[in-house]
Amino acid sequence: MEGTHFAERLTPIFARINSLVSYLQSFEVKRKVYVNPLGSLNDKFFRGSILFQCIFDSKRREVFAAGGRYDSLVQDFRPSVLASRSQTHAVGFNLSWDVLSSIMVEYVKTPMRTSSKYVEAEMGAFWKTRRCDVLVASFDPTVLRETGVKLTQDLWANDISAELAVDASSLEELLVKYKEHNHSWIVIAKQDSKERGFKVRCLVPKEEFDIRNTELIPWLRNEIRARNTREGTTDNSRYARLSQSEANAAVSERANDVRILVPQHRSKKTNRRNIVESGRLNPEIVPSRLTKTALLRSREVVEKALEGPIAAIDTRDDLLDAIRDTRLSDPDSWRAVIQNAPLTERKYLGQVQDLLLDLASESRADGAETSSNAFIYNFRTGSCINYDLKTGNDR
């Protein structure tokens, strides 16, 4: 074959396959991918590009979806007056709705079984009205295909729905191309993004932020949680779901009024029972030369304090010390702490303040004050402080 025109035609074919495999590896695709260079029945439709099929990986290997890149097909039907314009790209596929419908009916009727080959994501995760949350873009084609691909894969690995944008020269061009896709954020990568971070454009409301590389995923996760709260939707990500064992532990734990506020931008899972057990207080009353009455009274004060609720939070110890110096009766003290905190912690600290206000309000329910203090336990470091729940309305 060497020296013939067939050899010249093989070079771009294998270059295309190598490029495709490279992208599959960069996106860390876990599904099996079979490459079949001679598998196209209508090769003229996909000339110069690829055909793909989605199949059931069983003995019969039935096809339930098929499609490909139709660039050449579109080019053949393009009017000659448009020949001077850039080439139009097109991707399409045919989905067998009958097969999909029958599979869904069978799935609903069949008890849940765990596959020995794959751990499938929950069915609800596939049916979302929003195309995806984040659009990863760059105005430099090289950065888009390197940093952009890596960032998209990182977002996927952290259960944040994202897609890679097409080549564009400006933000306005991106907004025009994706105006119907309902993205919530556009993350723009630059050549120096590894050192200086990313520019994030929030579409609703229209705001721009400069976020450091290490803070991007926690920031996005926190923003997604806040958006879902505003919209009244449920966060189906794996970071927002408690395991069944954790839920059972939460039901059985009733010794103290323990409130746990877990931030969604933390990637590690939290074991509620461990938090409660490690945060339980066992103060020792050391006898002294005080009279018996004074000793008894001091014990009563401590025992009453032990009835206070516990707020388990996840933050840094320097911020916990700053919270110690605040007062619920002084909103300015809380405002100063929140404004001086890192950007990714500010909303969470506001939620901590709201939680303490709720505890203070509940402690005065029905006109009887059940407790005037609360314990704030930092389950990231194990530190714990006693916090005064009195507000300006307390006497």
What pLDDT score was predicted for residue 339?
92
Q: Up-side HSE of residue 54: CA atoms within 13 Å toward CB?
A: 12
Alpha-carbon distance of 355 to 309, in angstroms, equals 11
Residue at token pair 């490909």: 68
Tokens of residue 349, six digits: 């600290």
User: Which is nearest to 130 in space by CA: 215, 52, 203?
Assistant: 203
What pLDDT score was predicted for residue 259?
58
* Amino acid type, 150: K
Alpha-carbon distance of 265 to 268, in angstroms, equals 9
The pLDDT tens digits of the residues spanning 22-62 come to: 988 998 888 888 888 777 766 666 777 778 888 887 777 78
What pLDDT score was predicted for residue 120?
40
What pLDDT score was predicted for residue 250?
40
What pLDDT score was predicted for residue 236?
59
Alpha-carbon distance of 29 to 20, in angstroms, equals 12
What pLDDT score was predicted for residue 369?
65
User: Which is nearest to 239 in space by CA: 270, 274, 214, 215?
Assistant: 270
Please, are residues 261 and 355 in contact by the beta-carbon 8 Å criterion? yes
What pLDDT score was predicted for residue 281?
38
Going from N- to C-terminal start, the domains of the chain cover 6-105, 134-231, 304-388
Class of domain 134-231: alpha beta
Spans in the chain with pLDDT lower than 70: 1, 41-45, 83, 108-129, 232-298, 366-369, 392-395
Q: 196: which residues sit within 8 A by CB, 6+ positions away?
A: 190, 210
The pLDDT tens digits of the residues spanning 288-307 come to: 333 455 656 667 777 777 87
